[in-house]
Amino acid sequence: MFRSANRLYGAIIAAGTCLVSTQAWAEAQPWGTYLQPADTQVAEDIHTFGALTFWIVGIITLFVLGLLVYVVVRFNAKANPVPSKTSHNTMIEVVWTIAPIMILLIIAVPSFRLLYEELVIPDAKMTIKVTANKWYWNYEYPEQGDISFDSYMLKDEERTDPVKQPRLLAVDSPLVLPVGEVIRIQVTATDVIHSFAMQPFGVKIDAIPGRLNESWFKIENAGTFYGQCSELCGQNHAFMPIEIRAVTADQFAKWTEAAKTDLNAAKALLAQFDDENAKAPTTVAAN
């Protein structure tokens, strides 16, 4: 029920913004009131769980508000000049003990299911190692010929296209990944604690010096996705974005071949991939 409602909500948003490019879905929007649209099954399940808890909390809030209004009107000094001397009510005590237990059980079942889905990594097709530094990211592709590069945020004077290079989000070397494959991500840091957070994928994992944390995701649509460091890590914490380019399997193979010998040539291929993917029919995840 709640997953269907969440899909309907996403469909309404998608229909209302059908003239917006696919890339616009990959970043936070001004005056946005909801999470960024999901592009993985895990992220969609997070949205569904959020919708479930929202309705539970909303119903409880309205119920408590109704009780407060009733008590104020029914038991004020004018309407009830002789106060009741009732000290307890067994039925009420039983209800307000059992009801919270039932509500917590309703929340706990999908919560544990979601935790299992996030923490248990299925058979991964590839592994990416992410190393956080003050204040940039290093990406390694150990299974694609030991490709490795650093990723820095573009400064204002380095941005050539304000639309395709959003301020404080675009980087000089994005992380390029294929769609439709289970990707294991291993995260660590060299200095202080950082956090690799990519909301459209439902991933937020701490980068801790001396420790290797793991997570996973499976991207559903080609496009550009933006995230950020989500752990206060010092002076330039706000200038440590994450940019992921999701491409098709064939495009990823071309990119890795070029990146093995010339990273600049591989970056030049991304513009070509953007044009190819823009001409192909696309769908918005979380519909």
Please report, for the domain that includes residue 129, its CATH number.
2.60.40.420
Task: Mark 123-135 as b/e (b = at least 16 C-beta within 10 Å).
Answer: ebebbbbbbbbbb
Please determine, for residue 242, whether its predicted confidence score (pLDDT) is greater than 60. Answer: yes
Backbone φ and ψ of 212, nearest 5°: -115, 110
**What span, in angstroms and rounded, lies between the C-alpha atoms of 81 and 231?**
57
Helices (H) and strands (E) in the chain, counts: 5, 10
Count structural domains, the chain: 1
User: What is the 8-class DSSP label of residue 190?
Assistant: S
In this structure, the number of other CB atoms found within 10 A of the CB of residue 224 comes to: 24
- Per the domain annotation, does 5 fall within a domain? yes
- Per the domain annotation, does 271 fall within a domain? yes
**Nearest CA to 37 among 20, 47, 173?**
47
pLDDT top residue among 89 and 281: 89
- Per the domain annotation, does 107 fall within a domain? no
pTM comes to 0.80
- Per the domain annotation, does 92 fall within a domain? no
Please determine, for residue 281, whether its predicted confidence score (pLDDT) is greater than 60. Answer: no
Domain of residue 197, residue span: 1-85+121-287
Q: Residues with Cβ < 8 Å from 130, sequence gap 6 or more? A: 137, 138, 139, 140, 175, 185, 186, 187, 188, 196, 207
pLDDT of residue 159: 92
- Per the domain annotation, does 105 fall within a domain? no
- Per the domain annotation, does 94 fall within a domain? no
Percentage of the residues of the chain whose pLDDT score is greater than 70: 88
pLDDT of residue 283: 40
Q: Which two tokens mark 182?
A: 């289970």
- Per the domain annotation, does 97 fall within a domain? no
**What span, in angstroms and rounded, lies between the C-alpha atoms of 172 and 27?**
17
Contact (Cβ atoms closer than 8 angstroms) between residue 36 and residue 26: yes
**What span, in angstroms and rounded, lies between the C-alpha atoms of 120 and 16?**
36
pLDDT top residue among 30 and 73: 73
- Please give the average per-residue pLDDT across 19-42, as a whole number: 70
- Please give the average per-residue pLDDT across 37-59, as a whole number: 93
- Per the domain annotation, does 91 fall within a domain? no
Rounded to the nearest integer, the mean pLDDT of the chain is: 86
